[in-house]
């Protein structure tokens, strides 16, 4: 099922997601729906917060063919190093891209969609994507990493678009 993606500046995007207690049928269906929604929107990552489901779940697929899905439930970065500057965009902030500085290399531990614990080492684009989506779970948007001036401009742009629609 395709879910509705919340758009900036929707206040629900600031909700801090709660840990998943048990990976059950509901959680598995949510993961399936999130992948479907992300692929439909031609995104490379989606956090449950973005679809108004406030549990710690992210789905990612940075492959060109959308054939390398990664699900992270209760993701936690346990190591990070290096630095990378990367242009980021967001399904919740459509048509807006800016350079953000993040850790280049990370190690994350999480549960998969079957509730099994695993660790994943990521670098470059995958690392950036995981950090971006974990930020969503913490009520943080990539625009929060920008200067106050750029944030102000984005708010004006968003307000203008809202009036047009």
Q: What is the pLDDT of residues 132-156, one digit of tens each?
A: 999 999 999 988 988 888 888 888 8
Total domain count for the chain?
1
Residue 6's pLDDT band, with cuts at 50, 70 and 90, is very high
Q: What is the pLDDT of residue 85?
A: 96
Assess if residue 31 is contained within a domain: yes
Is residue 25 helix, strand or coil? Answer: helix
Percent of the chain with pLDDT over 70: 98
How far apart CA 148 and CA 81 sit, in angstroms, is 26
Mean per-residue pLDDT, 46-53: 98
108 burial class (0-12, 13-18, 19+ CB within 10 angstroms)? buried
- Lowest pLDDT segment from 18-27, 78-87, 91-100: 91-100
Q: Using the predicted structure, report yes or no on whether residue 165 has a pLDDT greater than 60.
A: no
Residue 17's pLDDT band, with cuts at 50, 70 and 90, is very high
Residues with a catalytic annotation lie at 133
Assess if residue 3 is contained within a domain: no
Assess if residue 86 is contained within a domain: yes
Assess if residue 132 is contained within a domain: yes
How far apart CA 111 and CA 154 sit, in angstroms, is 35
Q: Which of 89, 106, 107, 90 is nearest to 98 (CA)?
A: 89
How far apart CA 133 and CA 146 sit, in angstroms, is 16
Q: Which of 75, 83, 155, 163 is nearest to 120 (CA)?
A: 75
Mean per-residue pLDDT, 71-80: 98
Q: Using the predicted structure, report yes or no on whether residue 4 has a pLDDT greater than 90.
A: yes
Assess if residue 133 is contained within a domain: yes
CATH number at residue 15: 3.90.45.10
What residues make up the domain containing 143? 11-164
Q: Using the predicted structure, report yes or no on whether residue 54 has a pLDDT greater than 70.
A: yes
Share the mean pLDDT of the chain: 94
Assess if residue 2 is contained within a domain: no
Residue 159's pLDDT band, with cuts at 50, 70 and 90, is confident
Assess if residue 151 is contained within a domain: yes
CB 130 within 8 A of CB 139: no
What is the bridge-based pairing of β-strands 105-111 and 57-60? unpaired
Assess if residue 102 is contained within a domain: yes
């Amino acid at each position: 099922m395709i879910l509705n993606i919340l758009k900036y500046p929707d206040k629900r995007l600031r909700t801090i997601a709660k840990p998943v207690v048990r990976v059950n049928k509901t959680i598995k269906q949510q993961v399936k729906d999130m992948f479907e929604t992300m692929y439909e929107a031609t995104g490379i990552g989606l956090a449950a917060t973005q679809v108004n489901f406030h549990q710690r779940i992210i789905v990612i697929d940075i492959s060109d063919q959308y054939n390398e899905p990664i699900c992270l439930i209760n993701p936690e970065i346990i190591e990070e190093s290096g630095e990378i500057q990367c242009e980021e965009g967001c399904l919740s902030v459509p048509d807006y891209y800016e350079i953000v500085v993040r850790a280049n290399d990370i190690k994350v531990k999480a549960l998969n969609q079957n509730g099994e614990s695993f660790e994943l080492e990521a670098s470059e684009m995958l690392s950036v994507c995981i950090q971006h989506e974990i930020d969503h779970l913490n009520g943080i948007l990539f625009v929060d990493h920008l200067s106050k001036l750029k944030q102000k401009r984005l708010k004006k742009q968003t307000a203008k678009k809202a009036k047009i629609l």
